[in-house]
Amino acid sequence: MKFIECPRDAWQGFHPFIPSEIKLDYLNQLIRVGFDTIDFGSFVSPKAIPQMQDTAWIADRLDLSGSNTSLLAIVANERGAADACAFEQIGYLGYPFSISETFQMRNTQATIAESFDRLKRIADLCTKHKKELVIYISMGFGNPYGDAWAPEIVMEWVEKLSKLGASTFSLADTVGVAQVNDIGWLFTALIPYYPELEFGAHFHTRPDDWRTKIQAAYDAGCRRFDGALLGYGGCPMAQDDLVGNMPTERLVDFAKEQKELLCLDANELQKARTMFQQIVG
């Protein structure tokens, strides 16, 4: 199993502002754990997400020496992508592409059609600067707005988006509504059909239904999972305080049960968990 740790998703909505030095120390600790990838920040307007205003400052100071961990930054437009591409140490650019028109407007101030055009330009930047593009299919399992959703719609958009040069797609259960049957259906349909692509799961979940979501994706062949220590954060659109990020601790527990090879340092992981508890109180 491949673990993507998402501190950016955990603290982007946290108030007050976390001092940059504290974020840097925590991220360097996460690097020592040995995660495959760390979703560490986003190049977006500080007016939109004040907590992310120091992403460039942090990127310049992260210590990746002797580490195999990759860095992923979220971007919402071409300008943010260009800013991210200026950093050699950032290997992945992630773009949240929603199949809910309402959420796409709320999240990136662009329609789905406009986002598709943005992605074309972002993909060109990734090719030029030798970055890999990760497309998050947000609201990938339904939405609370009444916008049209069906597994077939997800399949249609993956087909269109796959032609832009993205290497990875992550299906995001943005508001924690994913049904086990839909999870299994989508991953079973996508993974064999696109063997050249990597598909991941970015689940938001209530404390009592994390296992069924992971199990359904795993049984369907998914081996890339996003998580956040303590299950902190999640989508502010969830309208349910119990819906947070998939807890990394639960992913680790599941991997052990499946006898998956873990490349994480347990001692460093515990140190990171303690640090994060102190940050969020």
pLDDT at 237 over 80: no
Task: Convert 163-192 to b/e letters by CB count within 10 Å (16 or more is b).
Answer: ebebebbbbbbbbbbbeeebbbbbbbbbbe
Give me the amino acid identity at 158: V
In degrees to the nearest 10, what's the CA dihedral of 64, 66, 72, 78? 60
Burial class (CB in 10 A: 0-12, 13-18, 19+), 238: middle
- Give the model confidence (pLDDT) of 80-131 as tens digits: 999 999 999 999 999 999 999 999 999 999 999 999 999 999 999 999 999 9
pLDDT at 234 over 90: no
Integer-rounded Cα radius of gyration of the chain:
17
pLDDT at 240 over 80: no
- Give the model confidence (pLDDT) of 248-264 as tens digits: 999 999 999 999 999 99
pLDDT at res. 76? 95
pLDDT at res. 242? 57
pLDDT at 67 over 90: yes
Per-residue pLDDT, averaged over 263-275, amounts to 97
Average of per-residue pLDDT values in the chain:
95
| Cα separation, 170 vs 44, whole angstroms | 20
Q: Give 260's contacts (C-beta < 8 A, 6+ positions apart).
A: 1
- Give the model confidence (pLDDT) of 123-176 as tens digits: 999 999 999 999 999 999 999 999 999 999 999 999 999 999 999 999 999 888
- Give the model confidence (pLDDT) of 69-78 as tens digits: 999 999 999 9
> What Cα–Cα distance (Å) separates residue 264 from each residue in 32, 170, 273, 277?
9, 22, 13, 19
Range of weakest confidence among 20-29, 56-65, 239-248, 260-269:
239-248
Confidence of residue 182 (pLDDT cuts 50, 70, 90): very high
Instruction: Find out whether 246 and 203 touch, Cβ atoms under 8 Å.
Output: yes
Q: Are strands 244-245 and 198-205 parallel, antiparallel or unpaired?
A: antiparallel
- Give the model confidence (pLDDT) of 215-230 as tens digits: 999 999 999 999 999 9
| Cα separation, 99 vs 235, whole angstroms | 16
pLDDT at res. 96? 96
> What Cα–Cα distance (Å) separates residue 204 from each residue in 125, 151, 238, 242?
30, 18, 9, 10
> What Cα–Cα distance (Å) separates residue 120 from each residue in 20, 77, 94, 200?
32, 11, 13, 21
Instruction: Find out whether 95 and 79 touch, Cβ atoms under 8 Å.
Output: no
